[in-house]
Structure 1
Amino acid sequence: MILEHADIRIDPARATEFEAAIVRGASTVIAQARGFQGYQVRRSIESPGRYLLTIRWATLEDHTVGFRQSEAFTQWRAIVGPFFAQPPVVEHLELVGEG
């Protein structure tokens, strides 16, 4: 399993709209992608307008090829992209330890 970690910055004044949009986009668009295994969205307490989106994928390629190179990615960005104050910083992580 691969974890996609997206650090997203938005205008805090649009938080309510953004939160509805990101949940809608993840649950209706991303959730249909091959290899999708679940997601979480977290809002920063200390930094208004900062969100962390984590998506669990079966493989790295399920995200980087299967989803990112599909029409679904265009649909996803149409839903959440207008809220971005800057491009999200995206990294992929794999588990090396757990307690």
Structure 2
Amino acid sequence: MILEVAVLNVIPGQEDEFLKAFSKAQDIISKMVGYHSHQLKRCIEHASQFILLVEWEKLTDHTIGFRESKEYQEWKGLLHHFYDPFPTVEHYTNIEKADESLISHI
């Protein structure tokens, strides 16, 4: 399982419109191959900042399957004009067994 993490900085004053558009966009992503779940969270300290967490089966389900699809063009049209700057998107994987070298740095 892969976790996509996107920090979304919405242009101040456009948060309500962004949330309306996201309610439509989430239907698009939820139908993609390899999609498992998503959460959109709003920052308490900065009301125009959101974080999107999407679980994918494989990295390529997001980077190729979704981003190279016609559905992505619809997603992009609904959401991308709300961002400034454009989102940082990174991918994470689970650590199955605690690694002693990681724990020693905590």
Q: Which runs of 5+ in 1 are unaligned?
A: none
Is 1:69 aligned with 2:61?
no
Q: What SS does the corresponding residue of 1:45 show, helix, strand or coil?
A: coil
Q: Is the partner of 1:32 in helix, strand or coil?
A: coil
Report the CA distance between 1:88 and its aligned residue: 0.4
Identity percentage over the alignment? 32
SS in 2 for 1:29: helix
Deviation at 1:14, TM superposition (A): 1.1
Residue 86 in structure 1 maps to residue 85 in structure 2: yes
Residue aligning to 1:22: 22
Q: 1:52, 1:23 → 2: CA distance?
A: 15
Report the AA paired with residue 6 of structure 2.
Answer: A
Structure-1 residue corresponding to 2:39: 40
Alignment correspondent of 1:8 = 8
> 2 CA distance for matches of 1:76 and 1:68?
10
Q: What is the number of equivalent residue pairs in this alignment?
A: 97
Q: In structure 2, list runs of 5 or more residues that go unmatched.
A: 98-106
TM-score, scaled relative to structure 2? 0.86
Q: Give, in whole Å, the separation in 1 of the partners of 2:14 and 2:96.
A: 37
TM (norm. structure 1) is 0.91
Choose 1 or 2 for highest CA Rg: 2
Q: Aligned to 1:78, what secondary structure does the other structure show? A: helix
Runs in 1 of length 4+ with deviation above 4 angstroms?
A: none
